[in-house]
Chains A and B, each alone.
Chain A
Amino acid sequence: MVNRIGCLLVLFISLGFSTGCQQTPAADQLYQQLGQQAGISQIVDGLLHEIEHDRQIVHHFRDTDIERFRKLLIEQLCELSGGPCKYTGVSMQESHTGFQISQADFDNLVRHLMKVMTAQNIAISAQNQLLGLLAPMYGDVVYR
């Protein structure tokens, strides 16, 4: 909405200068499609639930402060999707070193995320966009 008003303002101001107002997708479009803060929190909670019931990966979280992990993951997904947040955690590489996370662990997490997003009726294009942003982290997460 703010964006649209801004766009209109630019349009009015520039009327005499023959510069058009381009309708480019908002920088936070993905954040909106994920359901903003509430939607992302719900995704993270769904993911935590899946992890908790996955014997393959739950052991990696044995010594994890889940509350803090939850907060950081919400921050990260919020920032990544163009939302008004700043991820305050350490780098992906740093936070995963020593965990010996395997490809199978990573695959499981991706499947859980897809399942949770589908359950929340998030559009396929938004799901794919988020997966596309997360996929390149593979190298920083696996076998560290």
Chain B
Amino acid sequence: MKYLALLLLCCALPAQAGSKVIATGGASTIEGAAGGGLVPWAVIKGYASSGQWSVSAMRNQVGVDDFTLHSTGVGLSYDNNYEISFSRQKFQLDTIGGDLQQDIIGLKYHLAGELLYTAMPQISVGMQYKKHRNFTLPALVGAQQDSGIDWYLAASKVYFNAVAGRNLLLNATVRATKANQTGLLGFSSANSQNYRYMLETSAAVLLTPALAVGVEFRQKPNQLAFADEEHWRDLFVGWFINQHVSVVAGYVDLGSIAGLAEQQGYYLAVEATW
């Protein structure tokens, strides 16, 4: 209800949207950064082009067999160059009981290239500071720290008229991380204290300028001895209704989590942008 009100509010606000082309701000990932669903892209959130500001609010939900992830956040971007986001994640352990929570502050800076306009892909560097809020369980299963910083370098580019006359977005992100299950199970372990480099990729076809269908892969480390951590995948449809509202729905495969195998289910994200 709260979110419906939010949506209505944003639709009712005067249309002082930014200049960027529809969908080029991407959607909101589970960690708050602009991207697909699970993978941050080099795009800057919202529609703020040069000299413009953009504010956004987002809500994501992932429901798999034994877990539900809720992520709520806000973002601010400027000049199509700077992005800052804050997200709070609540990971409900539906069959085990209880939940795990963390806060994520994300920063992203657009270094070079333009998503649509240059032969060079748009390249951005980003960081995500993550702080766990109820660390008892992660500590119990072997996590060493209750906070950590992920660093990533992302390259994104739209290729015009690439697939059956449609535009194609390709993204590759390399992330340096110490996180177990993105930080929901804390950071590092007894036998893994260093940064691990993970590859995250996305491909999306824009059926229309406002409707994207895509697939993502997110490589994950496997540091905790108590249970295997596996790579994540998703398929998504993103509808950029206008410059104020986007909705993403998808299917996710999160592999094994905390000893519970084959965690598959739905992905939903709503973002409001001013």
Contacts and interface: CB of A to CB of B under 8 A. Distances in A.
Contacts of B167: 128
Nearest to A123: B165
Nearest to A135: B117
B3 interface: no
A136 B161 CA distance: 14
B49 interface: yes
A135 B51 contact: no
B49 A103 contact: yes
Given A103-B50, A107-B19, A125 B165 contact: yes
A125 B161 contact: yes
Interface residues of B, number: 23
Chain A interface: which size bin?
20 to 34
B49 A107 contact: yes
Interface SS majority for chain A: helix
Residue of B118, B160, B164, B165 with most chain A CB atoms under a 10 A cut-off:
B160
B7 to A, nearest CB: 23
Contacts of A56: 19
A124 B114 CA distance: 22
Given A135-B116, A139-B118, A103 B80 contact: yes
Interface stretch (A66-74, A79-87, A108-116): A108-116
A110 B49 CA distance: 13
Interface string B216-255: 0000000000000000000000000000000000000000
B160 A111 contact: no
Interface of A: 56, 102-108, 110-111, 114, 123-126, 128-129, 131-132, 135-136, 138-139
Given A107-B20, A132-B160, A138-B116, 19 more contacts: A102-B51, A103-B80, A104-B18, A104-B52, A105-B19, A106-B117, A107-B19, A107-B21, A110-B21, A111-B19, A123-B165, A125-B164, A125-B165, A126-B165, A135-B116, A135-B117, A136-B117, A136-B118, A138-B118
